[in-house]
């Protein structure tokens, strides 16, 4: 399918023609390009911007959206989340992943990174929906003697890679995932790190999310989680590290040197009382900072526009400097930096030859007029409700409230049927 | 008009019949009430909750939404906002107020408190729209000898009270307003305070928004802004104090003893780099804490659901305790506490005999299923996009995307015509 977007305002406020052909952006310019198009879309009251990357998610946790709130973290996890997760089934994960993916597409997310269980089901939901994803099976190990040989969870990961890595014309990728330092033993971590590097895969991991886990690692290993995991080889593969609330300057330097990304989840970090990650410092140190929603249990929506806004405001407010968390910088975290974290080449920005992963955002809604500068509107004034269209690899997945690949009523019905908590 | 809401889920998760008659809630109960109704509304997939109070706003500043961003506060004010305000006209204020009111109604706001200029125009917009408001003419005085006698701005306030106070069956109230301590001289403050008390009016004021203004007052007067204004009699009338980011414990005790309210504007405070007000401490000290959006120039939307969410998360995240900023407490700030700040009797909650100021919120959208507890959904999962209906004094102002009192296309056209910055 070929599409011509006409009178499209870009983030830099230029008004252009932008054409899509064979899943990529084929032209951007002031003059109308030659040729006919399957579809012509007049965008004169909208912003055409790169699609959003949600680089830390547990999609199936939509099941636990609002399931226990305003509780101490330990009590919440042990009395609500862990017992509920024990009752997960493939059917539940499929339905919950579908709901999550629908919410993400509606909100302009074109790709997400996920750590969870029953990943086959999430993989099928990704393939069917048309969204992109880097999925990973979250690995834990508590026996001090644990190694990957003979480990059933690790075998699942390997099987997942075999069955799904680069499926759906590369839309779906399988990453490796160590849940976190505090949920794994050293031998197992070293094994997974070595396998990941040998297989040429990416790594997803939770890192220094809470002060408790950060300090307990120092007591246990004599080093920060970042330093310890680095010694184990975890960052020898491109890694996306979720949270990073308690990273030290040295930690940030390690991550920057290793080409690792930190997925900043400002809403989840606030809501769970974890704190506020210092993304300003991370950027100064050269870390690739990206944004994520975390799972719906701790947020509670999968709305990256809300994270973009919150990330910017927290950077300004907590360091009391309105020059920080600049709109363009935070949008880059949500787009180009996210594509880099997922190692998706030629993606995350609007350039000829890049993947046609696009969001059309209304500049004519009650909360987006006036628009003096489209970048400011996108970050400060707009919300996910202003998304008019989401396009992935040149395919329109969502347009004016309707989905092209998803039967939303069926998805909601399935979800309600399995959601028995 | 009489309305019967059927199968209405309340914040406490009861499913009830709720009827509206003569602008008030006439019945709440498990059984269907006797009689016929002009309208019956089945709410089985929605939450029926009290309408929201936006207790600090500058509605006409929608003109400056996104007009200069990511700038130092002083530069932004002196090079952008102040020169733009110098070019305000009654026509601009009318159009901008209409746009603001439409955005607020769409987002479930039933009443707002406002400080600005050209208040006649905002008053007319309030009357026409059906929303409630406490409007005030923002007073400033820089001449050390300034008093209210002969002051044109003060005369405007008095005229406003005469023409509009308790207009539209009490929907519209006129408050007095001193802009702030740092923009007024002592004699003038004392005069306005005395007039406000004598006239039995309410007071709106900016208070300790930035550390700079707070500390400069201490240098100037040897006391905090709260202590100084209290000495001047400002809190002898019921006051709504916007921001309160730098309030001391003593300040909070003064405000609590005087029955003053603090309008917490979490998004604006973050965005301008002012900091984070400690609402947890204020509540401990007995202050009536309410929520506000501030003007669209510093937010950038008039979305109280966003403020509710942010207020809760900031309370948890900055003090690193998920038990703070509890959903029910923050919702109370946005409803019942707001009605108290505006001294609207029998308003702000769903009880028989109370004003029928209602919001119907979808519990069946992609981001609000599942709903284990309606209060949690309203605060953490929902957003203003989930507002299905807004009712003020028993009159439906907004329903499923359509306004009953406002011609949105005319309002947007008028706004775009006058917005020439």
pLDDT for residue A104: 98
**Nearest-CA neighbor of A151 among A184, A124, A108, A104?**
A184
Can you list the positions of beta strands (E) in A149-297? 172-180, 203-207, 239-243, 261-264, 288-291
What's the pLDDT band for A360 if we cut at 50, 70, 90? very high
The answer on pLDDT for A185 being more than 90 is: yes
- Dihedral sign (CA B127, B129, B134, B140): negative
Q: Any chain B CB within 8 A of the CB of A407?
A: no
User: Mean per-residue pLDDT for A96-124?
Assistant: 98
Q: At what angle do helices B304-318 and B327-334 cross, to 10 degrees?
A: 140
Residue A52 is encoded by which pair of tokens?
């959003």
Q: Which residues in chain B have Cβ-Cβ distances shorter than 8 Å to A376?
A: 66, 69-70, 300
pLDDT score for A421: 86
Work out the percent of chain B whose per-residue pLDDT is above 90.
98
Question: Which residues in chain A are closer than 8 Å to B322, comparing Cβ atoms?
Answer: 70-73, 76, 271-273
Judged against a pLDDT cut of 90, whether residue A197 lies above it is answered with: yes
| CA-wise closest residue to A251 among A268, A234, A265, A267 | A234
Query: How close is the nearest chain B Cα to the Cα of A188, in Å?
Result: 32
Say yes or no to pLDDT of B421 above 90.
no
CB neighbours (10 Å) of residue B304? 27
Mean pLDDT of chain B: 97
Pairing of strands A358-362, A387-392: antiparallel
Q: Which residues of A touch B272 (CB under 8 A)?
A: 316, 322
Q: Per-residue DSSP letters for B360-405?
A: EEESSSTTT-S-S-HHHIIIII--GGGEEEEEETTEEEEETTEESS
Give B345→chain A minimum CA distance, Å.
30
Scan residues 140-199 of B and list those with Cβ closer than 8 Å to A.
none
- Span A263-315, pLDDT tens digits: 999 999 999 999 999 999 999 999 999 999 999 999 999 999 999 999 999 99
Percent residues over pLDDT 70 in chain A = 100
Q: How many of the other CB atoms lie within 10 Å of CB of B305? A: 24
B 244-283 → A contacts, CB under 8 A = 267, 269-276
Query: Is the Cβ pair A322, B276 closer than 8 Å?
Result: no
Q: Quick check: A225 and A189 in contact, CB under 8 A?
A: no
Q: What is the pLDDT of residue A74?
A: 87
Q: Is A11 on the interface with B (CB under 8 A)?
A: no
Once rounded to an integer, what is the mean pLDDT over residues B198-219? 98
Min distance A190 CA to chain B CA atoms (Å):
33
**Residue A128 predicted with pLDDT over 90:** yes
- Report chain A residues whose CB lies below 8 A from the CB of B274: 317, 320
Rounded CA-CA distance A280/B208 in Å is 27
- Rounded to the nearest 10°, the torsion over CA A367, A370, A376, A379 is 10
Residues B224 and B208 sit within 8 Å (Cβ to Cβ): yes
Mean pLDDT of B41-62: 97
CB contact B366 to A (< 8 Å): yes
Q: Which residues on chain B are in Cβ contact (under 8 Å) with A63?
A: 370
What are the tens digits of pLDDT across the range B106-161? 999 999 999 999 999 999 999 999 999 999 999 999 999 999 999 999 999 999 99
Torsions phi, psi of B164, nearest 5? -125, -10
- A63 contacts chain B (CB < 8 A): yes
Domains and CATH numbers, chain B: 3-50+356-403 (2.30.40.10), 52-341 (3.20.20.140)
Chain B hits for A296, CB-CB cut-off 8 Å, are 381
Quote the ipTM score.
Answer: 0.97
CA distance B147 to chain A (A): 36
β-bridge pairing A261-264 and A239-243? parallel
Omega before A273 within 30 of 0, i.e. cis: no
The contacts of residue B242 (CB under 8 Å, 6+ apart) are B56, B115, B204, B205, B206, B207, B209, B262, B263, B265, B292, B294
What pLDDT does residue B370 have?
97
Q: What is the pTM of this model?
A: 0.98
Question: Which one-letter DSSP state was computed for residue B51?
Answer: P
How far apart are the C-alpha atoms of A122 and A139, rounded to whole Å? 16
Tokens at B311, concatenated: 């207020």
Average pLDDT of chain A is 97
Per this entry, what is the length of chain B? 421
Cα–Cα distance between B305 and A39 in angstroms, integer?
A: 37
- Choose the closest CB to A66 out of B270, B364, B370: B370
- What does the pLDDT look like over B62-93, one tens digit per residue? 999 999 999 988 899 999 999 999 999 999 99
C-beta atoms of A370 and B416 within 8 A:
yes
Q: What is the distance between the alpha carbons of residues A112 and A103, in angstroms, rounded to a whole number?
A: 12
Inter-chain residue contact B103 with A322, CB threshold 8 Å: no
Q: Helices (DSSP H) in B27-183: which residue ranges?
A: 73-76, 82-86, 90-106, 119-129, 152-164
Q: Quick one: which of A383, A303, A320 has its CA closest to B271?
A: A320
Q: Which of B67, B272, B324 sits opposite A322 (nearest CB)?
A: B272
Q: Per-residue pLDDT averaged across A352-358, rounded?
A: 98
Residue B388, min C-alpha distance to chain A (Å): 14
Q: Which of B102, B301, B318 sits opposite A381 (nearest CB)?
A: B301
pLDDT tens string B258-305: 999 999 999 999 999 999 999 999 999 999 999 999 999 999 999 999
What are the pLDDT digits (tens) for B321-364?
Answer: 999 999 999 999 999 999 999 999 999 999 999 999 999 999 99
Token code pair at residue B137: 């003419």
- The residue behind tokens 């200069």 is B68
State the Cα–Cα distance between residues A106 and B306, nearest whole angstrom.
19
Instruction: Please give the residue of chain A at the shortest CA–CA distance from B319.
Output: A273
Distance from CA of A419 to the nearest CA of B (A): 8
Q: Which residues face A288 on adjacent strands?
A: A261
The lowest-confidence range among A50-64, A70-84, A195-209, B170-184 is A70-84
pLDDT(A73) > 90: no
What the block records as the tokens of B317 is 């995240």
Residue A124 has pLDDT above 90, yes or no: yes
Find, among A278, A348, A350, the residue nearest to A317 by Cα. A278
Please list every residue in chain B whose beta carbon sits closer than 8 Å to the beta carbon of residue A270: 313-314, 316-318
Closest chain B CA to residue A417: B370
**pLDDT mean over B50-67:** 98
pLDDT at A172 (0 to 100): 98
Label residues A177-199 b or e (16+ Cβ within 10 Å = b).
bbbbbbebbbbbbbbbbbbbbee
Distance in angstroms (rounded) separating the CA atoms of residues A366 and B109: 14
Give the count of Cβ contacts less than 8 A between chain A and B. Answer: 202
Q: What is the CA radius of gyration of chain B?
A: 21
Residues 6+ apart with CB under 8 A from A152: none
């Amino acid at each position: 399918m070929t599409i011509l977007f006409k009178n499209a305002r870009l983030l830099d406020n230029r008004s252009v023609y932008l054409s899509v052909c064979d899943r990529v952006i084929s032209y951007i310019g002031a003059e109308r390009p030659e040729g006919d198009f399957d579809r012509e879309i007049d965008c004169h009251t909208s912003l055409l911007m790169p699609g959003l990357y949600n680089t830390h998610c547990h999609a199936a946790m939509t099941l636990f959206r609002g399931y226990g709130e305003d509780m101490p973290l330990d009590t919440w996890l042990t009395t609500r989340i862990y017992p509920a997760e024990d009752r997960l089934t493939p059917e539940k994960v499929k339905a919950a992943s579908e709901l999550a993916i629908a919410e993400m597409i509606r909100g302009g997310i074109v790709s997400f990174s996920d750590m969870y269980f029953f990943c086959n089901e999430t993989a099928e939901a990704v393939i069917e929906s048309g969204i992109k994803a880097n999925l990973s099976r979250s690995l834990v190990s508590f026996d001090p003697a644990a190694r990957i040989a003979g480990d059933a969870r690790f075998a699942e990961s390997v099987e997942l890679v075999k069955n799904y890595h680069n499926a759906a014309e590369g839309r779906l990728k399988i990453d490796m995932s160590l849940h976190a330092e505090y949920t794994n033993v050293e031998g197992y971590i070293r094994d997974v790190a070595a396998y990941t590097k040998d297989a040429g895969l990416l790594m997803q991991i939770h890192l220094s999310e809470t002060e408790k886990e950060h300090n307990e690692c120092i007591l246990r290993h004599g080093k920060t989680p970042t330093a310890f995991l680095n010694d184990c080889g975890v960052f020898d593969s491109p890694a996306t590290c979720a949270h990073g609330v308690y990273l030290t300057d040295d930690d940030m330097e390690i991550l920057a040197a290793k080409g690792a990304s930190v997925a900043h989840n400002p809403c989840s970090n606030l809501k769970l009382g974890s704190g506020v990650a210092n993304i300003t410092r991370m950027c100064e140190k050269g870390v690739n900072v990206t944004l994520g929603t975390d799972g719906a249990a701790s947020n509670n929506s999968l709305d990256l526009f809300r994270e973009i806004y919150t990330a910017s405001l927290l950077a300004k407010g907590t360091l009391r400097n309105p020059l920080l968390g600049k709109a363009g910088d935070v949008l880059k975290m949500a787009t180009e930096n996210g594509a880099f974290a997922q190692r998706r080449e030629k993606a995350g920005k609007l350039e000829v030859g890049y993947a046609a992963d696009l969001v059309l955002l209304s500049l004519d809604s009650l909360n987006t007029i006036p628009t003096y500068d489209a970048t400011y509107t996108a970050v400060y004034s707009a919300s996910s409700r202003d998304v008019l269209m989401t396009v992935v690899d040149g395919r329109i997945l969502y347009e004016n409230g309707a989905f092209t690949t998803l039967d939303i009523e069926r998805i909601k019905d399935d979800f309600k049927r399995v959601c028995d908590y």
